[in-house]
């Protein structure tokens, strides 16, 4: 079942642009926000343009990966699209299925105290890392 309760978060001016932070403590496993946008099958991996608000889904038919679908939240979406990258994230994207519908939720993987920024690891595909954490992959690689 898809959770209806989404915890209080707010947008704020972070060091690298707009960010999302907790208003109240978010516990491990709690839903921070749904990730919504336009559902498309456009292959962003082959697109030369930078797409900072895209999340890839695995479309499945009878348990096998059929093709890739993407949620593009650049022009339309929730506060989840403003969650910044970190190599030491405190949230993750979770695909949830309800009947035939697929939803992507941002879930807390660590306790996030009030006032603390919510972050997620976007991986290496979309853009360079600028998280400034002690374990930043750019620092380790460079």
Is residue 1 very low, low, confident or very high in pLDDT (cuts 50, 70, 90)? Answer: very low
pLDDT of residue 16: 82
pLDDT of residue 115: 97
List, as own/partner pairs, every contact residues 129-132 make where C-beta atoms lie below 8 angstroms and the sequence separation is at least 24, other chains included: 129/85, 129/87, 130/16, 130/85, 131/84, 131/85, 131/86, 131/87, 131/88, 132/15
Q: What is the count of structural domains for the chain?
A: 1
The residues that bridge with 119 in the sheet, in sequence order, are: 84
Q: DSSP for 43-66, please give it.
A: -GGG-SS--TTEEEEEEEETTEEE
What pTM did the predictor assign?
0.78
In a domain, 93, yes or no: yes
Q: Per-residue pLDDT tens for 35-63? A: 888 888 877 666 656 566 777 776 655 66
Q: Per-residue pLDDT tens for 106-136? A: 999 999 999 999 999 887 765 565 677 888 8
In a domain, 64, yes or no: no
Range of the domain at 23: 9-34+77-141
pLDDT of residue 2: 45
> DSSP letter at 138?
H
In a domain, 120, yes or no: yes
> DSSP letter at 3?
-
Q: Per-residue pLDDT tens for 57-104? A: 766 556 666 667 778 888 888 899 999 989 999 999 998 887 877 788
Q: Domain holding 18: CATH number?
A: 2.170.270.10
């Amino acid at each position: 079942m898809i959770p209806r309760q989404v915890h209080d978060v707010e947008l704020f001016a972070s060091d690298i642009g707009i960010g999302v932070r907790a208003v109240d403590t978010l516990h491990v496993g709690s839903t921070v926000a749904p990730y919504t946008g336009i559902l498309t099958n456009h292959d962003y991996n082959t697109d030369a343009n930078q797409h900072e608000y895209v999340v890839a889904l695995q479309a499945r038919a009878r348990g096998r990966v059929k093709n890739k679908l993407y949620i593009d939240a650049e022009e339309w979406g929730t506060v989840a699209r403003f969650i910044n990258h970190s190599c030491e994230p405190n949230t993750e994207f979770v695909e949830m299925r309800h009947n035939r519908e697929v939803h992507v939720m941002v879930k807390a993987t660590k306790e996030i105290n009030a006032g603390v920024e919510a972050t997620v690891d976007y991986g290496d595909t979309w853009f360079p890392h600028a998280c400034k954490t002690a374990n930043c992959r750019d620092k380790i690689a460079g």
